[in-house]
Amino acid sequence: MADEKKGILAEFQEFISRGNVMDLAVGVIIGGAFTAIVNSLVENVINPLISFLTGGSTEVPGMAISLGDNVVDFGAFLGAIINFLITAAAVFAIVKSLNALNEMKEKAAQKVGLVKEEEEQAAPAPRLCPFCRQEIPEDATRCPHCTSKLDGYENELDARHLC
C-alpha cells in the first residue's frame, strides 16, 4: 500500500513538473489579473462614458424581468458580453503583436544568417518511378515495385542478348 501511494505521489510530481502544466497555471494566473484590468476598464471608463451619453444611467431600462423574488437581469448579461468582447479583443491584439514580433525576429535572424531558410532545411522531393509512380531509392536502377528499367540501368546479360 505504501509503494502504491509513493507511486501515485511520484506520478503526480511528474505530472506537475511538466512544462505544459506550469504554462497553464501561469496562464490562469495572468488571465485572472487581466480580467481585473478589463473589469476596471469597463467599470471606470466605459460605463461612465455610457452614463454620460445616455444621461445618467449605464443600464438599459426594461432589460430586467421580475419573477417573484427573483430578477432576470439582461443588462448584467450584456455587461458580461461586453467584458468578454473587450478581453477577447485585447488578447487578440497582444497575440497578434507577439506574432509580428516573432516574425520580425526570425527575419532578422535570417538576414544575418543565423537561421537557414525553410527551403534549405526541407528534404528533397522523393524520386518516383516514371512508370508506376511509386517512391524508389535514389540509387535504384530498377523499380522495386514494377521492375521497370530506370535511367542508369546496365546489365551484362542484356548487352549479350542484343548482339
Q: What is the pLDDT of residue 117?
A: 54
pLDDT, tens digit (0-9, with 9 covering 90-100), for 20-60:
777 888 888 988 888 888 788 878 887 788 777 766 665 65
Q: Domain residues for 32?
A: 2-121
Q: Is 77 helix (H, G, I), strand (E, B) or coil?
A: helix
How many domains are contained in the chain? 2
For residues 97 and 137, membership in a common domain is answered with no
For residues 96 and 141, membership in a common domain is answered with no
For residues 139 and 153, membership in a common domain is answered with yes
Average pLDDT over residues 111-129: 69
The more confident residue out of 161 and 64 is 64
Average pLDDT over residues 71-98: 81
Residues 6+ apart with CB under 8 A from 142: 148, 149, 150, 153
- What distance in Å separates the CA atoms of residue 128 and residue 137, rounded to the nearest whole number? 9
For residues 97 and 128, membership in a common domain is answered with no
Q: What is the pLDDT of residue 154?
A: 77
For residues 91 and 129, membership in a common domain is answered with no
pLDDT band per the 50, 70, 90 thresholds, residue 101: very high
Q: Is the pTM of this model over 0.85?
A: no
For residues 160 and 105, membership in a common domain is answered with no
pLDDT band per the 50, 70, 90 thresholds, residue 115: low
For residues 58 and 137, membership in a common domain is answered with no
Largest CA distance in the chain: 108
For residues 49 and 106, membership in a common domain is answered with yes
Domain of residue 37, CATH code? 1.10.1200
For residues 111 and 151, membership in a common domain is answered with no
